[in-house]
Chains A and B, each alone.
Chain A
Amino acid sequence: MPEERIEEPEPSVSKRIGSIQFSVFSPKMIKKMSAAKVVTPELYDKEGYPVDGGLMDIRLGVIDPGLKCKTCGSKLKECVGHFGYIELARPVIHIKFVNLIYNMLMSTCRECGRVLIPQAKIAKAKADLDKIEEESGIESRRLEIRKVISSMKTVNKCPHCKAKQHKISLEKPTTFLEEEKRLSPIEIRVRLEKIPDDDVFLFGMNPIHIRPEWMVLTIMAIPPVTMRPSITLESGERSEDDLTHKLGDIVRINQRLFENINAGAPEIIIEDLWDLLQYHITTFFDNSVAQLPPARHRSGQALRTISERIKSKEGRIRHNLAGKRTNFSARTVISPDPMIGLNEVGVPLVIAMKLTVPERVNDWNVSYLKKFVEKGPEKYPGANYIVRPDGKKKKITDETKEASLEELQPGYTVERHLLDGDIAIFNRQPSLHRMSMMCHRVRVLPGRTLRLNPSVCNPYNADFDGDEMNLHIPQTEEARAEAEILMEVQTQLISPRYGLSVIGCIQDAISGNYILTKGLTFPKEEAFDVLYSAGIKDFSLPNKEKITGKEIFSAILPKDFNFTGHSRSKDEKGSDKVVISNGKLTEGVMDKNNLGEGSGLLLRNIHKKYGKEYAIKLIGDIFKLGIQVLIRYGFSTAISDTDLPSDAKAKINEVMENVRKEVDELIVTYRQGNFDAFPGKSIEESLELKILELLNSARNKAGELVANYADKESHTMIMAVSGARGNLINLAQMATCVGQQALRGKRIDKGYNKRTLSCFREQDLTPIARGFITNGFKTGLTPAEFFFGSMTGRDSLMDTALRTPKSGYLYRRLANAMQDLKIEYDYTVRNASGRIVQFEYGEDGIDVSKSEKGIVNVKRIIKSNL
């Protein structure tokens, strides 16, 4: 065996970029780095072969399969491309430097090129600028330079050579005028050349990296072909890239300019061509210059030239460099499965057979991995590819299977199907916080959806109305280790936002536990059954005939757990205290305050005391217990849940009648002019406020009546009280009165016609005419009420639609500004340049996700020690 072993290749030398230097290319440099000089606008000859000296010259790189680059000899995809250059017949101004050129022309002498500051003051000016830069960065230096320059505009005599200065103006985009006379780029270049290096520093430029005259182009770099590949259409026709089109224009005009100059054509023609060349070169760099018409395709669509390629969200930087794409991922609809663990994800078989995990073959797992290869890609736990040590991938098919099996040996890698327990990263967009991407264990399941435990809906903010989620399979050991240690669900239990559990029970699980702990009793046998069907194997129930719900709930709590807290609802005795002592729930009921996410310290304390693994197991158990209880108890809602006894109805009617009268009285006093304004408000505003107050209190009174009179045992009530879903206001809205519809914080306002709807009188201020809905959803709304409801509905839709992009942008800015802040080894918070932002994070160095609601819980420590 050892003789056959293929030597592992030396791991490729991985180089690390240490730094990136930015500078401007000098003409010399452009020539030096160029592989070819471009002289003809033609692209291909008759055979379709790139022309020498053309824009697609194969010295500039290859984009056709089969051709070899003349410069580096590599083939397609291996050759990164090489720059070329063209010599411009006449110099042309680079559009991106126009303002700088303008500043320099204005503030240097037209004769001697010195800055228009007296020799004695130059040193001081420079020192001032350096000081400013040191104090508040290069940006401020630029601002200061601008100030210095604008002060120089008024100087009309050079302090060095005493030459008279003329006024220079810039006619956008690229024309410079000196006293109404046009300055040609040649003259401009001559002037810029005269500026001595020492003076260049003043402009915030470094003459090593940029000489002012380089801002006027005499030769231009041609980007490599690989940067502007042509695409072959179905018809076999070639379609060139926008940049190639633009370059073609430049080369063509440049050739014509050359010819005309050589032929001694009249000055006007040359100037016209020169301007045209300037236009083409300008639009090559930036096709959205304000004063120029953008260069267009024949179809009329504007060309996407260099600036447009870099800029914006779809540009190179944000789209390709800061955002990457990935393989080994899947996406489908999600659906719930409370019976899988919180840190599991149900993966459909079809996906499990497409996504793979690479496993390196060694002496000990050869036979294990051969089994996968044997099964092939079609049968479930199989494999799709084997990878040879040299990196060649080989697909496993029925034909190649035998050969693959044969050649498989240590050093190879097998890409096998997903198995239960594999590590996957699960994600739902928008990924607003780190809990939006968590690591789950794969559980291969039948069906076509990704399955997740409903408890983890919260961190993902997912529901099952058609949401889709993404699954990623890490491909290296390092990635898997990091995912497992840093990203697995249980490690993300405590939110770094507020220091409480982000995962808890939701909906039915809360209702179930509420019912269970509120006073349900089961016969002994059934109690065992409930626990067993919830998947609990450890039954520590008291030996009694009747077992209470609290005892059943206590069975899943750890035996030495103590806790006191408050519940959202009142228990049978009317207190909201929750006491767990020695693992027994002795007092109180379980509801959203203790089981839900982001509330109460129950889950946090369990996590702290028993660890993350136990905490997620317990949450899962509580969840399943709640569901099992509901299955036995039966749970549903009905319209009859909103029924009220007749005396309640009478009382509510009375409340409504009273408020109507009160408002009417108010309106009458207002009409009579006897209504007093609140300080700082107008009479009308005060009236509105007063009416709103009355109406709101009426709605609240009605709500209270509903809460008092409605059937406490009804399932709708149970849900509202336990916090599983809905609240008492929702119930009141269904049962009696929807209430005031508020639009922009006010009652629905009269429009231009002095009334809200044409079914009311003008200037009607009564509640019903201003959007107060007296009916409940059960009785049904009148047309006018329905319309008012729609108005506020639309308003809230708009609010959401407008808010999302605003808060998204705020978030992007925050993330961008703070992404490089980290805690250093000395526990200071610093940014990337080492500047201290905080001496100790948050003034005490506490990590919120390790704290209890942001603090070290001193009270708990004291209590546990007494």
Chain B
Amino acid sequence: MTDAIKEYEDKLPKSIIDSLRENIPASISQAKLKQILEQTVAEYNESKADPGECIGNISAESIGEPSTQMTLNTFHFAGVAEMNVTVGLPRIIEILDGRKELSTPSMEIYLNKPYSEGKDIKKLALSIKETTLDDISLGFEINIVDLSILIKLDRELMRNASFTVATVVNSLKAQTKGFNIKVDDDSMELKSRSKDINLNDLYKVKEKIKATHMKGVKGISHVLPVKRGDEYIIITAGSNLKDVLKLEFVEPERTKTNNIFEIASVLGIEAARQAVINEVYGVIESQGLNVDIRHIMLVADVMCNSGYVRGITRYGVVSEKSSVLARASFETPLKHIINAALVGEIDYLESVVENVMINQPVPIGTGLPSLVTKVKK
């Protein structure tokens, strides 16, 4: 049976072949099989999109229309074991804008065995979480008279996170060049070596050392071990794919982040494209809306086409259009027209809006075909 299907592999896309393999009963006669395959090919060819179809517009409609039905502020209340993540329309806007700073970055970290079965899960989770100096201190004070910073450390918290004063001082050293560190039981005093330091600078230093990275993965601000199905995973607030993938107890294949730019830089543009698709599709599905994945694929491809993740904004995808008038019709028309004049840009009227502007047929759909004929001289 498989041989017969194999012949059709270049006539049908992989998804259909797979589905055929899966659904055709093994005890089928050759003739019947042939008949089924032929009909599938016929139906497939029938349902192919025609040349000239304005796919882009259809996809834009298919995403734009349901987005008017999406709720703006979706909160899930039943979920005890969930991190607060942006969903709904704001999330879609965030993705399509190509924003580098997410409002709620988050990761789903899958673990290798035996950790995925729950071994030391709490400890592992805590070890990922970023600890800053601020987290293990009781307070920071500035001594205005001697111009020094006093840090009071929390003994108990330090013991929990297995820190000693010495390790703290060590990690502080890089941050505080030009300062003398005096350790006194559970407090530290930082004093500048140079005489002419003013209060302003001191304050800045104080704020800076508060965020000193002590332990864990940078950028992971919260961790939550969760049982999903019958394995344990760690959900985090804050994202740092590069460093998390380096951890040896992490299963790198399934570990996810919702930060598309991180994916693009760590795993490459193809992965980023898939991430855009997954994220957008996830949001649309969670809203109970029905949008075919092809539309989202097209949007993702438009965004990732140049090799970088670009938002659908005037600085991103739209700025790459070849036509001056098309760019001008979107936003900031004057800027585009003036810049075009400087280089003497030529608009060849190849896309839609320019032709609408000058009342000519658009080169899409029925406006696309033209007659080629030899004129008798």
Instruction: Please report A residues at the B interface, Cβ cutoff 8 Å.
Output: 16-24, 96-97, 100, 136-139, 142, 204-206, 208-210, 307, 310-311, 315, 317-318, 321-322, 324, 430, 432-434, 482, 486, 496-500, 598, 678-681, 686, 689, 692-693, 696, 742, 744-746, 799, 802-804, 806-808, 810-811, 813-825, 827, 829, 831-833, 835, 837-838, 840-848, 850-851, 854-859, 861-862, 865-866
Q: Flag whether B186 is at the interface (Cβ < 8 A).
A: no
Mask, B2-28, CB within 8 Å of A = 1, is 000000000001111001100111001
Q: How far is the CB of A686 from chain B (nearest CB, A)?
A: 8
- Which of B176-184, B250-258, B329-337 binds A? B329-337
Q: How far is the CB of B286 from chain A (nearest CB, A)?
A: 15
The reply to whether B302 and A821 contact each other, CB–CB distance below 8 Å, is yes
Interface centre among B295, B318, B324 (most CB of A within 10 A): B295
Q: Flag whether B32 is at the interface (Cβ < 8 A).
A: yes
Q: Which 6 residue pairs are nearest across A and B when measured between Cβ atoms?
A: A745-B75, A821-B56, A811-B64, A209-B344, A842-B294, A818-B56
The reply to whether B68 and A851 contact each other, CB–CB distance below 8 Å, is no
List chain B residues, Cβ under 8 A from A843. 13, 15, 294, 297
Q: List 25 A-B contacts (CB under 8 A).
A: A17-B349, A20-B346, A20-B354, A137-B319, A317-B328, A433-B64, A434-B58, A496-B61, A497-B290, A799-B72, A803-B71, A807-B68, A810-B89, A811-B65, A819-B57, A820-B364, A821-B55, A822-B55, A831-B321, A837-B301, A838-B297, A838-B298, A844-B14, A854-B292, A862-B24
A142 to chain B: closest residue by CB: B339
Contact of B44 among A17, A746, A856, A862 (CB under 8 A): A856
Mask, B335-377, CB within 8 Å of A = 1, is 0011111111111111111101110100111101000000000
List chain B residues, Cβ under 8 A from A311. 333-334
The reply to whether B77 and A742 contact each other, CB–CB distance below 8 Å, is yes
What is the bound-complex CA distance between A693 and B329, given in angstroms?
50
Q: Flag whether B278 is at the interface (Cβ < 8 A).
A: no
The reply to whether B24 and A806 contact each other, CB–CB distance below 8 Å, is no
The reply to whether A858 and B298 contact each other, CB–CB distance below 8 Å, is no
Q: How far is the CB of B365 from chain A (nearest CB, A)?
A: 8
The reply to whether B346 and A21 contact each other, CB–CB distance below 8 Å, is yes
Bin the interface of chain B by size: 35 or more
A811 touching B67 in the complex, CB below 8 Å, given contacts A678-B81, A746-B77: yes
The reply to whether A696 and B77 contact each other, CB–CB distance below 8 Å, is yes
List chain A residues, Cβ under 8 A from B340. 22
A432 touching B52 in the complex, CB below 8 Å, given contacts A844-B15, A858-B19, A865-B36: no
A19 touching B347 in the complex, CB below 8 Å, given contacts A811-B64, A821-B55: yes
Q: Flag whether B70 is at the interface (Cβ < 8 A).
A: yes
List chain B residues, Cβ under 8 A from A679. 81, 224-225
What is the bound-complex CA distance between A238 and B67, given in angstroms?
49
B314 to chain A: closest residue by CB: A813
Q: How far is the CB of B313 from chain A (nearest CB, A)?
A: 7
A850 touching B46 in the complex, CB below 8 Å, given contacts A679-B224, A744-B75, A842-B297: yes
The reply to whether A100 and B342 contact each other, CB–CB distance below 8 Å, is yes
What is the bound-complex CA distance between A22 and B338, given in angstroms?
8
List chain B residues, Cβ under 8 A from A866. 25, 28, 32
Known: A16-B360, A96-B334. 11 other contacts (CB 8 A): A324-B356, A432-B64, A497-B295, A692-B77, A742-B75, A799-B72, A811-B67, A821-B298, A845-B13, A847-B48, A848-B294
List chain B residues, Cβ under 8 A from A432. 61, 64-65, 68
Contact of B68 among A16, A680, A803 (CB under 8 A): A803
Which residues in window 221-277 of B have CB below 8 A to A? 222-225
The reply to whether A861 and B40 contact each other, CB–CB distance below 8 Å, is yes
What is the bound-complex CA distance between A841 and B296, given in angstroms?
12
The reply to whether B51 and A823 contact each other, CB–CB distance below 8 Å, is yes
A835 to chain B: closest residue by CB: B305
A138 to chain B: closest residue by CB: B343
List chain B residues, Cβ under 8 A from A686. 80
Contact of B292 among A434, A498, A803 (CB under 8 A): A498
Which residues in window 69-112 of B have CB below 8 A to A? 70-78, 80-81, 83, 89, 92-93, 96
> Inter-chain contact count A-B, CB under 8 Å?
352
What is the bound-complex CA distance between A651 and B263, given in angstroms?
54
What is the bound-complex CA distance between A866 and B354, given in angstroms?
54
List chain A residues, Cβ under 8 A from B356. 321-322, 324
The reply to whether A817 and B293 contact each other, CB–CB distance below 8 Å, is no
A832 touching B321 in the complex, CB below 8 Å, given contacts A822-B56, A858-B23: yes
Q: Flag whether B47 is at the interface (Cβ < 8 A).
A: yes
Q: Flag whether B167 is at the interface (Cβ < 8 A).
A: no
Contact of B343 among A209, A315, A746 (CB under 8 A): A209
A210 to chain B: closest residue by CB: B342
The reply to whether A819 and B351 contact each other, CB–CB distance below 8 Å, is yes
The reply to whether B292 and A848 contact each other, CB–CB distance below 8 Å, is yes
What is the bound-complex CA distance between A447 and B368, given in angstroms?
42
Contact of B49 among A136, A142, A204, A847 (CB under 8 A): A847
The reply to whether A497 and B61 contact each other, CB–CB distance below 8 Å, is yes
List chain B residues, Cβ under 8 A from A799. 71-73
List chain A residues, Cβ under 8 A from B365. 486, 822
The reply to whether A816 and B344 contact each other, CB–CB distance below 8 Å, is no
The reply to whether A858 and B358 contact each other, CB–CB distance below 8 Å, is no
The reply to whether B43 and A856 contact each other, CB–CB distance below 8 Å, is yes
A137 touching B320 in the complex, CB below 8 Å, given contacts A680-B222, A846-B47: yes
Q: How far is the CB of A38 from chain B (nearest CB, A)?
A: 24
What is the bound-complex CA distance between A391 and B93, given in angstroms?
51
List chain B residues, Cβ under 8 A from A689. 77, 80
List chain B residues, Cβ under 8 A from A20. 324-325, 346-347, 349, 354
Q: How far is the CB of B73 from chain A (nearest CB, A)?
A: 6
Interface centre among B20, B80, B323, B342 (most CB of A within 10 A): B342
Q: Flag whether B175 is at the interface (Cβ < 8 A).
A: no
Q: Flag whether B291 is at the interface (Cβ < 8 A).
A: yes
Contact of B53 among A317, A321, A822 (CB under 8 A): A822
Q: How far is the CB of B96 from chain A (nearest CB, A)?
A: 7
What is the bound-complex CA distance between A819 and B58, given in angstroms?
9
Interface centre among B13, B61, B83, B306 (most CB of A within 10 A): B61
List chain A residues, Cβ under 8 A from B50. 823, 847
What is the bound-complex CA distance between A117 and B93, given in angstroms?
44
What is the bound-complex CA distance between A222 and B117, given in angstroms?
80
Q: How far is the CB of B285 from chain A (nearest CB, A)?
A: 12
List chain B residues, Cβ under 8 A from A317. 328-329, 333, 357
Which residues in window 207-230 of B have CB below 8 A to A? 222-225
Q: How far is the CB of B10 from chain A (nearest CB, A)?
A: 13
Q: Flag whether B326 is at the interface (Cβ < 8 A).
A: yes
List chain B residues, Cβ under 8 A from A137. 319-320
What is the bound-complex CA distance between A681 and B183, given in angstroms?
35
Q: Flag whether B60 is at the interface (Cβ < 8 A).
A: yes
What is the bound-complex CA distance between A803 and B64, given in angstroms?
12
List chain A residues, Cβ under 8 A from B59. 814, 818, 821
Q: Flag whether B187 is at the interface (Cβ < 8 A).
A: no
A827 to chain B: closest residue by CB: B51
The reply to whether A846 and B49 contact each other, CB–CB distance below 8 Å, is yes
The reply to whether B51 and A825 contact each other, CB–CB distance below 8 Å, is yes
The reply to whether A810 and B16 contact each other, CB–CB distance below 8 Å, is no
Q: Flag whether B322 is at the interface (Cβ < 8 A).
A: yes
The reply to whether B60 and A803 contact each other, CB–CB distance below 8 Å, is no
The reply to whether B78 and A696 contact each other, CB–CB distance below 8 Å, is yes
A482 to chain B: closest residue by CB: B366
Q: Flag whether B170 is at the interface (Cβ < 8 A).
A: no
The reply to whether B89 and A858 contact each other, CB–CB distance below 8 Å, is no
List chain A residues, Cβ under 8 A from B165. none
Q: Flag whether B66 is at the interface (Cβ < 8 A).
A: yes
A854 touching B73 in the complex, CB below 8 Å, given contacts A18-B348, A816-B329, A835-B305: no
Contact of B294 among A138, A142, A742, A854 (CB under 8 A): A854
Q: Flag whether B39 is at the interface (Cβ < 8 A).
A: yes
What is the bound-complex CA distance between A478 and B320, given in angstroms?
34
The reply to whether B56 and A820 contact each other, CB–CB distance below 8 Å, is yes
A818 touching B57 in the complex, CB below 8 Å, given contacts A486-B366, A680-B224: yes
What is the bound-complex CA distance between A649 and B49, given in angstroms?
58
